[in-house]
Amino acid sequence: MRRRTFLTTGLTAGALAALPAVPLLATNAAAATTTVTSISALQSAISRAVPGDRIVLANGTYTVPSGGIAVSGRNGTTSAPIEIVAESRGGVVLGGTRSFVFSGSSNITISGFAFRQSTTLEIPAGCSRIRLTRNDFRLADVSGLDWVTVRGDDAKIDRNHFHDRSTEGIFLVVDGPAGTAMAQGLHVFKNHFSDHGYTGANGGEAIRLGVSSRALSVANAKVEYNLFERCDGDPEAISVKSSGNTVRYNTIRDSRGGIVLRHGNGTTVDGNHLLGGDEGIRVYGNDHLIVNNYLGGLTGRALVIGSGTTRDHHDGETTEQRRGNDACDRAVIAHNTLFRNSGSLSGESRTYEPRDVVVADNLLVGDTGSLVAMDATSGFTWRSNILWGAASNGNIPAGGFTRVDPKLQQGTDGVYRLSAGSPAIGAATLSGVTVADDVDGQPRGTTRDIGADEYSTAAPVRRPLTPTDVGPNAS
What pLDDT is attached to residue 179? Answer: 86
Q: Can you give the pLDDT at residue 15?
A: 33
The answer, yes or no, to whether residue 18 has pLDDT greater than 60, is no
Assess whether pLDDT exceeds 80 at residue 363: yes
Other Cβ atoms closer than 10 A to 23:
11
Burial (Cβ within 10 Å: 0-12, 13-18, ≥19) of residue 144: exposed
Give pLDDT, residue 435: 96
Considering only CA atoms, which of 196, 91, 177 is closest in space to residue 135? 91
> What domains appear along the chain, each with residue ranges and CATH number?
141-469 (2.160.20.10)
The pair phi, psi for residue 15, each rounded to 5°, is -65, -35
| 441 pLDDT higher than 80 | yes
Nearest Cα to Cα of residue 251 among 230, 235, 266: 230
Encode pLDDT of 101-128 as tens digits: 999 999 999 999 999 999 999 999 999 9
Q: Residue 8: which pLDDT band, with cuts at 50, 70 and 90? A: very low
pLDDT exceeds cutoff 60 at 1:
no
Looking at residue 320, what is its pLDDT?
87
Whether the per-residue pLDDT at 131 is higher than 70: the answer is yes
Residue % of the chain over a pLDDT of 70: 93
- Poorest-pLDDT segment among 13-22, 205-214, 416-425: 13-22
Report the mean per-residue pLDDT for the chain. 93
User: Tens digits of per-residue pLDDT, 310-319?
Assistant: 999 999 898 8
Range with lowest mean pLDDT among 15-19, 160-164, 205-209: 15-19
> What confidence tens digit (pLDDT) does each residue in 267-285 have?
999 999 999 999 999 999 9
* Concatenated DSSP letters of 248-313: ES-EEES-S-EEEEEE-S--EEES-EEESSS--EEE-SBS-EEES-EEES-SSEEEEE--BSBS--
pLDDT in tens, 25-72: 544 445 699 999 999 999 999 999 999 999 999 999 999 999 999 999
Taking the CA atoms of 380, 257, 151 and 167 in sequence, report the sign of the dihedral they define: positive
The pLDDT, as a whole number, for residue 6 is 28
Sign of the CA dihedral running 411, 227, 294, 426: negative
At 397-418, the pLDDT tens digits run: 999 999 999 999 999 999 999 9
> Looking at residues 440-466, what average pLDDT do you find?
97
Give the tens place of pLDDT for each residue, 227-238: 999 999 999 999
d(CA 216, CA 427): 37
CA pair distance 454, 317, nearest whole angstrom: 44
- Please state, in angstroms and rounded to a whole number, the distance separating the CA atoms of residues 147 and 82: 23
